[in-house]
Amino acid sequence: MTHPMLGAPAILFILFSGISVRADDCTPSRCSLDGPEVRFPFRLKSRQPQHCGYNPGFDLYCNEQNETLLALPFSDKFKVLGIYYDLQEISLYSTTSCYPQLNLSASSFRLSPGYDLESYTMFKCSTSHLRLSEYNCQSTSTYTIYAVPSYYILDPFSLVSCTKLSKVYGALTSLRLPWFEPACGSCESRGKTCSMKNNIRGPELLCDNQPMEKNGNVHKRLSVSGEQVIHFLRLRINNLKLFKTRYQECTQVADPFAGEILGPFLFVVTLACLYRLYASTRANKEHQMKIESFLEDYKDLKPTRFSYANIRKITDEFSEKLGEGGYGIVYKGNISSEIYVAVKVLNNSHGNGEEFVNEVGTIGRIHHVNVVRLVGYCADGFRRALVYEFLPNDSLEKLLFLEGPKRSPLGRQKIQDIALGVAKGIEYLHHGCDQQILHFDIKPNNILLDHNFNPKICDFGLAKLCSKEQSAVSITAARGTMGYIAPEVLSRAFGRVSNKSDVYSFGMLLLEMVGGRKNVDRSVDTSQVHFSQLTYNRLSRQEISVSIEEEDDDESKNIVRKLTIVGLWCIQWNPSDRPSMKSVVQMLEADGSNLTMPPNPFPATNAPNPIARMPGRHHHIELEIISE
């Protein structure tokens, strides 16, 4: 029994389902190994079909010496020295005569702005003229040919022995001509391939990522040979024979109505798959349009926009990896011999470009000594990267939590300086910008250190912008890193989310800086697993110890006590009990002798000190909500 729903589609599927390469008769070509690469919009007439070029004006050919030549209408032949596809320029050299004729009226090329076609006048002189440029190719023992630029002002009597020959169009021997159509320069500069497709509406330029195969300095497109096609078709014919045999066996025992059921089912499944592909493609395009619209709005922030080709060059093809996180990989690069940068190549599998927009929209407007500087960014299709200033001493986390016999190189005073710098950076985010910026991910790994160990806050992928007049924000889901997330971010039972959430994260950071260990340490007994709780109990019993470089003098103890008290104030569970970052900066700048012990952040803890059992102050303040 024949099932029409399964006939042609099944055969086509079997024939072409495994195809992974395609024939390309427009493969880039050269007249010689050291000749320029010829590809769209140019073509070699003897080797490439007509559709490989933009129009006949871009036709090139090879001579007997395997030189690449361009023949323009009503002009002499020119040797092609080079083709600069990203700049849309071709470099030419006259090979026919001393007086090259160049007419661009019927060609696709134009002169560069300010370039004068009739730039030289040729003179044949019987006497020598030292002030003029001799043109040796036509000079003889009886007369000399001179080329006089048209802007020269000469004494007419000095040319009495000379005869004017002709005007020379263009340069005497070589020139560079730009072309403006087709406009493929921006496509080529991004490392992509420009091509043309003929549609019903007419020719359409394409900019795609066609795979390239590297062979020395020559890049060739992947193509399919005739033998490969024949071998592929033989395999598919064998598959078709096997399919026919299996199909006949199945139809002999199958329900006669199976085809009537299976056909519509496959049709519905195919439609569903096509719709899903269409919806996914449309969503991706919408995300791309949103990002491009955002970048257009924020182009005045002054960070440089790099192409993906620039990023590859800056990072030396991503040769030196600095680190890796949930949103991408960070590579070291250099813009010049003295300017080094850190390039974060974002992972496309996370979000819809939200982290990219957050970073550019927040850090792009910030200029503070304690906030990392955004040098530029790349948004090339779905390939996105962020370019930051390079900080040689890595992150605070790698210096705080050294394992084994290694000790942190940070002394008591430097720890205090780093804490104060981070506090000033956060205070600037909250109150120093046109809009309030909430970071939501303050932690040691997001504090980078420059060559003098000065701290700089980085990673604004989770940040939120809001008005300075607003005192709370609404978020749709918890954001941040466990161990540093404020209670109200996890549950609204503890209060509204506000800039006090960053204060809590900073408090956890301070306690880790003092103790030299993470606030959640799974290697210790479970009864002491919460490090901040342990710290409060020890401080209330006057048992706080100094772990910074094993210094045990009074000054070290005072610094540790001050940082610990400030940290405990910052991690109060009720947001209204926490100080503002401005107050935190003031406490860190003071000597610390007048700091009072904070309430116990853990009311259930049985601390021996009565101060530790002081109830927290629960002020219920109505806060205005900001929608995301």
The pairing of beta strand 374-380 with beta strand 304-306 = parallel
Phi and psi for 577 in degrees, rounded to 5?
-85, -10
Mark whether 521 is an active-site residue. no
- Written as six digits, the tokens of 112 are 């560069």
Q: Is residue 346 within 8 Å of 328, Cβ to Cβ?
A: yes
Query: Catalytic one among 380, 441, 459, 502?
Result: 441
State the Cα–Cα distance between residues 172 and 134, nearest whole angstrom. 12
Query: For 586, how many CA atoms within 13 A lie in the half-sphere containing its CB?
Result: 7
Q: What would the 3-class secondary structure string for 78-97 be?
A: EEEEEEECCCCEEEEEECCC
Amino acid at 442: I
Contact 112, 176 (CB under 8 A): yes
Task: Confirm if 606 and 438 have CB atoms less than 8 A apart.
Answer: no
344 is in an annotated binding site: yes
Residue with tokens 């900001």: 626
CA atoms of 279 and 581, how far apart (whole Å): 46
Check: CB of residue 46 under 8 Å from CB of residue 62. Answer: yes
CA atoms within 13 A on the CB side of 226: 0
DSSP string, 445-501: GGEEE-TT--EEE---TT-EEE-TT---B--SS--S-TTTS-HHHH-GGG--BSTHH
Angle, in degrees to the nearest 10, between helices 554-570 and 581-589? 170
Find all residues with CB under 8 Å of 184, minimum gap 6, and list them: 40, 41, 85, 88, 194, 205, 207
Q: DSSP for 497-549, please give it.
A: BSTHHHHHHHHHHHHHHHHTS-SB-TTS-GGG-BHHHHHHHHHHTT-----ST
Give every CB contact of residue 534 below 8 A, 6+ residues apart in sequence. Answer: 528
Phi and psi at residue 509, in whole multiples of 5°?
-60, -45
CA-to-CA separations, 531 to 276, 411, 430, 511, 537, in angstroms, rounded: 49, 21, 28, 8, 10
Strands 43-44 and 59-62: parallel
Give the integer Cα–Cα distance in Å for 300 and 134. Answer: 52
Question: CA dihedral defined by 460, 466, 470, 475, rounded to 10 degrees?
Answer: -70
Terminal Cα-to-Cα distance of the chain (whole angstroms): 61
Answer whether 395's CB lies under 8 Å from 455's CB.
Answer: no
In total, the chain counts a number of residues equal to: 628
In the Cβ-directed half-sphere of 324, how many Cα atoms lie within 13 Å? 4
Residues annotated within the binding site are 344
Residues annotated within the binding site for ATP are 344
Catalytic residue positions, numbered: 441
